[in-house]
Structure 1
Amino acid sequence: MARLIPAGLRPWRGAVLGIAALYFLVPLLAAAVFTVDVPGQGLTLDSYAQIFAADGFTTALLLSLGLALTTVALALLLTLPAALAVRLSGSGRLRAVLEVVCTLPLVVPPVALVAGIGTVLKWGPDHLSTTPLYDTFVAVQNPDFPLVLVLAYVVMALPFVHRSLDAGLRAVDVRTLVEAARDLGASWPRAIFSVVLPNLRTALLNASFLTLALVLGEFTVAQLLGFQPFAVWIVQASGSNAQLSVAVSLLSLVLTWVLLLVLTAVFRTRADRSARTPRSDKKKKEAGA
């Protein structure tokens, strides 16, 4: 990467990185100092202690984590097979249709999305009361059942998931890998799970990152639909206490970073294991010979 940068521009690289670091770190440090510095009392952690003692903290946090994991799984389950099918078919028209469908949520405001969801929920039970889906729609209207919120988040995450997967698929010759695996006797599921998906780890990780950040920070849809995940709880719990509000915001930011680091560690561990396995098998075969 350093060779690609002209020699005259290399000294500016550190300056640009330093300015970017200051742009992000200075507000965070100022917010952290504001939460622990109380005039007349000095440094104290009372604002952070109030977070864990506040009502609904654990419930809202667990709800957001459950929503995030469910949204990531469902978004990948819907988008990945479609992207693989389009890539294997080689049809440019299907690729264009899939791209338009997946990027359409970018032009739909969250308020309009919530209005459409509310209209569907009002229409559903009256027209489906004689079908087996009636109980499902009744459960969707129950604020304790976040299925409708998961579906809304999946729609909002489609553009980010599709872009991440499309970039990963463009970097890999999927058709050649699948054809080679099939010629060697692998079934379609084995070719996909053992050959294609390991080459898409980075794309899957990026899609999971973006979806996780979206769900943990989304407020408008959850508030209008009457749910109370962590983002909504932050606004409702902070009230007029400015220090508590900033402390909760910092805590949510740290929590998001920790979850992203955990996902990165999990993906890297699996990648290292898969990379070491062929070497160990080769050494065993050489020792046996």
Structure 2
Amino acid sequence: MATVTDPGVVLGGTAGQSNSPGSRAFAAPRAYWRWIVLGLAGIYFIGPFAVAFWFTIHDAHGVSFRAYRRILSTAGLSDALGTSLALGLIAVVVTLVLMVPTMLLVHLRLQSARPLVELLSLLPLVIPPVALVVGVRSVLSWGNNSDYVEITQVFTALQKQPLSLILALVYVVIALPFTFRALDAGIRGSRIDVLVEAAQNLGAGWPTVLWRVVLPALRTSLLNAAFLTFALVMGEYTIAKILIFRTFPVWLAQSANTDGQLQVALSILSLVLTWLILLLVVSIAGRSRKAPR
């Protein structure tokens, strides 16, 4: 007689339980509901997109791609889109240059300062954009009317059209919560303190540690932070409108007064562009995870 510890009995019992009709009957409804949830989610996300696309190609004469053919020849599009792209790149660079050394310093040397840095980084989520813009306008008014010529020149240069650096700096501020979370999760997940200590024990200096250890380890977090900042800049409307800067969202809202189909077509293209950038980020992040170390 086989004992309880007999491998054949144990494996046989387990296999019998896993292949029993009751377990198969229980797994079938779970797979069924999984496809229902995925289908409902697909309808929720793709449905409005499909309706908007149909609106852009359907008119009184039938199906036509006239709205998409007129995009490149639309007045003001290239300037507004170029301004938003340039502001997005500037905001991404300034945000990463500001936050990456700060987060490394907090995690490696000043861990007691982390709550303060987190509080300051999350403040833009609490302060309404309108209140932030009012404060920015007050500072700009003070700088433009300053008694010192140097201060006036600096503030004038920051507000110079079409590429306003003051707007890029405001975008850096409102992107701080997303950048902080992305970098904080990456640093905690990759154990940067252990990697830095190991590199320093092998004789590497700080430039080598940052370039060959820290940045490759945080590649996914850097890409996520850069994408979130860039997407925020490409979709932000309130601050640019109040400060009277003609960015792509502002131009897109103004174009609705002349041609609704053209505005929806531009919105679809901007959404597709954002999705393509997101897929590129995910692809690069996936390759970095699979790369041999």
TM over 0.5: yes
Counterpart in 2 of 1:221?
A: 239
Counterpart selection for 1:28 from 38, 49, 52: 49
Alignment partner, residue 17 of structure 1: 38
Cα distance in 2 for residues equivalent to 1:201 and 1:177: 14
Answer yes or no: is the 8 Å Cα contact 1:105–1:158 preserved in 2. Answer: yes
Distance 1:257 1:107 in 2: 28
Aligned match for 1:87, one of 101, 107, 127: 107
Q: Contact between 1:54 and 1:237, CA under 8 Å: does it hold in 2? A: no
Q: 1:246 matched to which residue of 2?
A: 264
State the shift of 1:10 in Å.
4.5
Whole-angstrom distance in 2 between the partners of 1:130 and 1:42: 61
Give 2:202's aligned residue. 184
Segments of 5+ residues of structure 2 without an aligned counterpart are: 1-25
Task: Mark the CA change 1:242 to 1:130 in structure 2 (over 3 Å): closer, same or farther.
Answer: closer
Q: Paired residue for 1:129? A: 148
TM superposition shift of 1:128:
5.9
Q: Which residue of 2 aligns with 1:103?
A: 122
State the alpha-carbon separation in 1 of the partners of residues 79 and 220 from structure 2. Answer: 32
User: Counterparts in 2 of 1:37-48, with a 5 A limit?
Assistant: 37-39=58-60, 41-48=61-68
Q: Secondary structure at the match of 1:171?
A: helix
- Aligned counterparts, 1:187-198, within 5 A: 187-198=205-216
CA contact (8 A) 1:139 1:145 kept: no
Within the candidate set 70, 89, 96, 1:69 is matched to 89
Please state whether the residue corresponding to 1:53 is helix, strand or coil: coil
CA distance in 1, matches of 2:229, 2:35: 31
8 Å CA contact 1:164, 1:206 repeated in 2? yes
Question: Cα RMSD between the aligned structures?
Answer: 2.1
SS at match of 1:52: coil
Q: Which has the larger radius of gyration?
A: 2
2:71 to 51, 68, 72: 51
In 1, the alpha carbon distance for the partners of 2:147 and 2:87 equals 26
What does residue range 2-13 of structure 1 map to in structure 2 within 5 Å?
A: 7=27, 9-13=30-34
Query: Counterpart in 2 of 1:3?
Result: none
Instruction: Report 1:117-266 matches (<5 A).
Output: 117-127=136-146, 129-131=148-150, 133-265=151-283
Describe the superposition over 1:179-210 as per-residue Cα deviations: whole angstroms up to 9, x where unpaired.
11001010012112211221111111111121
Quote the offset at 1:244 in angstroms.
1.7
- Distance in 2 between residues matched to 1:151 and 1:228, nearest whole Å: 16
* Distance of 1:56 and 1:210 partners within structure 2: 26
| Structure 2 Cα separation of the partners of residues 89 and 182 of structure 1 | 15
Distance 1:176 1:183 in 2: 11
TM-score normalised by the chain length of structure 1: 0.86
Question: Which whole-Å CA distance do the structure 1 matches of 2:30 and 2:283 have between them?
Answer: 34
- Rounded Cα–Cα distance in structure 1 between residues aligned with 2:277 and 2:190: 28
Mapped to 2, the partners of 1:263 and 1:191 lie a distance apart of 24
- In the TM superposition, residue 241 of structure 1 has moved relative to its aligned partner by 2.5
Instruction: Kindly state the Cα deviation for residue 267 of structure 1 after the two structures are TM-superposed.
Output: 5.6
User: What percentage of residue pairs aligned between the two structures are identical?
Assistant: 44
1: CA distance, partners of 2:203 / 2:222? 26
**Pair 1:114 & 2:167 matched:** no
Partner Cα distance (1:222, 1:248) in 2: 18
1:37 & 1:20 partners in 2: Cα distance? 26
User: How many Å apart are 1:117 and its aligned residue?
Assistant: 0.6
Give the whole-Å Cα distance in 2 for the aligned partners of 1:169 and 1:136: 36
Q: Does the residue aligned with 2:218 lie in a helix, a strand or coil?
A: helix
Task: Note the C-alpha offset of 1:256.
Answer: 1.6
Aligned-residue offset at 1:68: 0.8
Letter aligned with residue 218 of structure 1: E
- For residues 152-180 of structure 1, the C-alpha deviation after alignment (integer angstroms, 9 at most, x for no partner) is 10001000000111111110211111111
Name stretches of at least 5 consecutive residues in structure 1 with no aligned partner. Answer: 1-5, 279-289
Post-superposition Cα deviations, 1:258-279, rounded to whole Å, max 9, x if no partner, equal 333344555666x38x946x7x
Partner of 1:285: none
Equivalent residues of 2:92, 2:229 under 8 A apart? yes
* Superposed CA offset, 1:45-69 (max 9, x none): 1111222221111111111111111
